[in-house]
Amino acid sequence: MSAGSPTPVIALRSVGFRRGGRQILDEVSLEVQAGEHWALLGPNGAGKSTILGFCGAVTHPSSGSVEVLGERLGRVELAALRRRIGHVNPRHALDSPLTVREVALTGLTGTIELPMRWEASATEIERVDGMLAQLGLSAIAESRWPTLSQGERGRTLIARALLSDPALLLLDEPSTGLDVAAREQLLETVDSLERTHPELASILVTHHLEELPETTTHAVLVAHGRITESGPVGDVVTSEAVSAAFEHPIDVEHRGGRWSARARRAVRLD
């Protein structure tokens, strides 16, 4: 990084990761700046979840260095760092039948359940309700978690993540289990963040190009534990690059701000 240039939100430099004697990632380098919205793409087992673990300060590299929000892993108090990172995981392990408002409030406490004997202040309640209104959730603020659709849960988790005023938002396959309408509502919510949180950086993990928000600025393709392509989304999400990463001929189309993919049909010679 040159003198005077901004500190990256994420900086992975020649990162390697081994588990059980197996090399999971090798020589992974990635830099994310404030306001950028990255897509992390690749087949199952490529190493996407491990990379996201570095970005969320939950996994340490076996080699190389990882810096998150200007702090190097191994030299920082992790709990404090993680409070500056919003994480949206559709497998949110909530056991209690909390309301939408209460789930959002856990974004302020940094917990899954509401802490015992903790009560939100009037200012905190007002802030939560403002966030729910911003994301179109006011009408279901008193609805309880077990009764919510997967789409409503996803949008609630985005509200929860944003309440900690994160500098980095991680979305781990947020469209998992959603029907088409719910997926589109969630993507509209993600797209709105460019306007409401212009400095926020985000990384979204998915297998499906149809799940990329319109506001995606950059992309990285991962295969066999290595980055195969990285950079502006229009340069990376191409038929050639996606086909190489997924090891199958795929035609990629970009229309109206959204991407789609389908297997390339063989030409018949009659």
How confident is the model over 240-250, as a mean pLDDT? 95
Do the domain assignments include residue 37? yes
Residue 178's pLDDT is what?
Answer: 86
Mark residue 162 as left, alpha or beta (left: phi above 0; alpha: psi -120 to 50; beta: remaining).
alpha
Do the domain assignments include residue 132? no
Do the domain assignments include residue 216? yes
Residue 268's pLDDT is what?
Answer: 56
Q: Summarize pLDDT for 88-140 with one digit per residue, the tens.
A: 988 888 888 999 999 999 988 888 888 888 888 899 899 999 999 988 899 99
Residue 267's pLDDT is what?
Answer: 55
Report yes or no: 256 and 240 within 8 Å, Cβ to Cβ. Answer: no
Residue 269's pLDDT is what?
Answer: 56
DSSP summary character for residue 99: B
* Model confidence at 270: pLDDT above 60: no
Residues of the domain holding 217 = 1-84+195-270
Q: How many CB atoms sit inside 10 A of residue 240's CB? A: 11
**Of 124, 195, 197, nearest in space to 167 by CA:** 197
Q: Summarize pLDDT for 221-231 with one digit per residue, the tens.
A: 999 999 999 99
Distance CA 196, CA 193 (A): 5
Do the domain assignments include residue 255? yes
Report yes or no: 257 and 214 within 8 Å, Cβ to Cβ. Answer: yes
Q: Summarize pLDDT for 45-99 with one digit per residue, the tens.
A: 888 989 999 999 988 999 999 999 999 988 888 888 888 999 998 888 888 899 9
Q: How many domains does the chain have?
A: 1
Do the domain assignments include residue 187? no
Residue 150, H or E segment: helix 150-162
Q: Summarize pLDDT for 197-212 with one digit per residue, the tens.
A: 999 999 999 989 999 9
Chain-centroid distance of CA 160 in Å reads 14
Helices (H), the chain: 48-55, 78-82, 100-109, 122-134, 150-162, 180-196, 233-236, 239-246
Do the domain assignments include residue 63? yes
Task: Kindly indicate the confidence band of residue 238, based on its pLDDT and cuts at 50, 70 and 90.
Answer: very high
Residue 115's pLDDT is what?
Answer: 84
Whole-number percent of the chain with pLDDT over 90? 64
Distance CA 174, CA 91 (A): 9
Burial class (CB in 10 A: 0-12, 13-18, 19+), 123: exposed
* Model confidence at 245: pLDDT above 60: yes
SS3 148: coil
Do the domain assignments include residue 45? yes
CATH number, domain of 15, equals 3.40.50.300
Stated pTM of the model? 0.89
Do the domain assignments include residue 266? yes
